[in-house]
A and B are shown apart, each in its own frame.
Chain A
Amino acid sequence: MTGPVGDDELMARVAAGDSGALEILYARHHPRIFRFIKRIVRDDGVAEELANEVFVDAWRHAKSYERRSLATTWLLSIAHNRAVSALRKRREEAWNEDEAADLQDESEPADVVMQKAEKGRLLRQCIDALPFADREILDLVYYHELSVGEAAAVLDIPEGTVKTRLFTARKRLSELLKKAGVDRGWP
């Protein structure tokens, strides 16, 4: 039985100019790409534009796609560059001081906080308050389930930096949680 066509073959078709193959790739990967960008730029409209541009870039540069990386990784890499470039244009700071301040303003004794929100919601709130680079590495590892090497390829950084960036992000998350009244006992 012939199975569904794989991403590599679709990329080959895109490189040959088949917009139908691009459409299939779009259907397959757009939700993840959109979410990845949205988590960085935090704006639906901007994320929608950038996500579409990722697939336009994929069309334009399909011939440079190499099968040694997954199409997912390749698309995420384009998405990362697009999102970071957009952030720079908007001159957003890596650390969102306003949101961090808001979170700290809500800091109250642990029992009060825990009455207001269950731990999972607070955890998500703290993750969203992290600098975009921290959120990005957490997303790549936990949601997009990339390996160390794949995350390094997407971010164009050494594998060792992936590990330290992830570690730092998790430590910062613990610090935010602690300020909000939840001590995880780590680090």
Chain B
Amino acid sequence: MSEKSSDSDALQEFEMLLPFHATGRLTPSDAARAERYFSEHPDRLQIIDEEKYAVVDSNEAISARRAHNFARVAAAISAMPVQPSGRGGGPLNAISRFFELPSVQSVRWAAAVAAVLIVAQTAAIGVLVVTQSSSRFSTASGGSALREPGSFVTIRFADGATAAAIAAMLTGLDMRLVDGPAGGGLFTVRIGDRDMSDAARDQAIASLRARSDLVMVVMRGR
């Protein structure tokens, strides 16, 4: 094999790995090699980034809210012939059902605490919505303050995120909660003016995504 074809093979081998660098899923040694490669081929880094953003945008443009319907799943599993008890309902029902089941004590408490946390978190963040939206904007009809002019994103906060931490983060980023929670614990956040540039919008979204300790998912608003 010639040296030229060997170089070509090595280049192709690297190209196969580069997309995983964009998501931080390379081993440390491969990541270091990729960094060196990108320093010499910045155009390739741009191509990868463009692809990633396009794929993420395409996915996040799909609203899963309307399809979110656990009741149908609950109905399906309740119709199964051999299954233990436990049927549908909301998180509060899940808590009560939980204590009816025989289980390992530690697992039982962990799941119970999780269910309580989810309910408590949703309620606490819901209070933030009321506080942040009503203090700045109100509609003539006294209805939802959701559509104050602006640019919006839909957010699902991380499970352990507290309302205080979320409020601090949003204040620091000059954003605010304006609606929610919707199905799946989704909230709407105003990230800026309606005419904010694409670059500013991307930067705002990136800032939110960077707070992975508080933010699980950020979707572009419609």
Of the stretches B96-104, B124-132, B138-146, B166-174, the one at the interface is B96-104
| A141 CA / B111 CA spacing, docked (Å) | 31
Chain A residues 6 to 23 lying within 8 A of chain B, measured CB to CB, are 9-10, 12-13, 16-23
Residues of A within 8 A of B52 (CB): 142
A2 contacts B103, C-beta separation under 8 Å: no
Minimal beta-carbon separation of A10 from chain B (angstroms): 7
Residues of A within 8 A of B95 (CB): 20
Q: Given contacts A19-B87, A24-B91, is CB(A141)–CB(B113) below 8 Å? A: no
> Does B62 sit at the interface, judged by CB under 8 A?
yes
A27 contacts B19, C-beta separation under 8 Å: no
What band does the interface of chain B fall in when counting residues whose beta carbon is under 8 Å from A?
35 or more
A184 contacts B111, C-beta separation under 8 Å: no
| A127 CA / B52 CA spacing, docked (Å) | 11
A34 contacts B98, C-beta separation under 8 Å: no
Minimal beta-carbon separation of B31 from chain A (angstroms): 12
> Does B1 sit at the interface, judged by CB under 8 A?
no
**Mostly helix, strand, loop or mixed at chain B's interface?**
helix
> Does A70 sit at the interface, judged by CB under 8 A?
no
> Does B147 sit at the interface, judged by CB under 8 A?
no
Minimal beta-carbon separation of B182 from chain A (angstroms): 11
Most buried by B among A13, A28, A128: A13
Interface size on A, residues (CB 8 A): 61
> Does B9 sit at the interface, judged by CB under 8 A?
no
Q: Given contacts A34-B67, A55-B73, A139-B55, is CB(A20)–CB(B91) below 8 Å? A: yes
Chain B residues 128 to 162 lying within 8 A of chain A, measured CB to CB, are 156, 159-160
- Chain A, Cβ-Cβ closest to B13: A163
| A166 CA / B81 CA spacing, docked (Å) | 42
Residues of B within 8 A of A19 (CB): 74, 77-78, 86-88, 94, 97
* Contact indicator per residue, chain A 45-57, by CB within 8 Å of chain B (1) or not (0): 0011001110110
> Does B206 sit at the interface, judged by CB under 8 A?
no
Chain A residues 57 to 71 lying within 8 A of chain B, measured CB to CB, are 59-60
A59 contacts B56, C-beta separation under 8 Å: no
Chain B residues 1 to 55 lying within 8 A of chain A, measured CB to CB, are 12, 15-17, 19-20, 22-25, 43-44, 47, 50-55
| A34 CA / B67 CA spacing, docked (Å) | 8
B118 contacts A127, C-beta separation under 8 Å: no
A9 contacts B25, C-beta separation under 8 Å: no
> Does A115 sit at the interface, judged by CB under 8 A?
no
Residues of B within 8 A of A153 (CB): none
* Contact indicator per residue, chain A 136-164, by CB within 8 Å of chain B (1) or not (0): 00110111011110000000000000011
Known contacts A20-B95, A143-B59, A147-B20; 4 further A-B pairs (Cβ under 8 A): A52-B76, A59-B77, A60-B80, A142-B56
Q: List 23 A-B contacts (CB under 8 A).
A: A3-B159, A5-B114, A9-B114, A13-B103, A16-B101, A16-B103, A19-B77, A23-B88, A23-B89, A23-B91, A23-B94, A28-B159, A30-B67, A35-B64, A53-B76, A120-B57, A123-B50, A124-B58, A127-B55, A138-B55, A141-B25, A147-B20, A163-B16
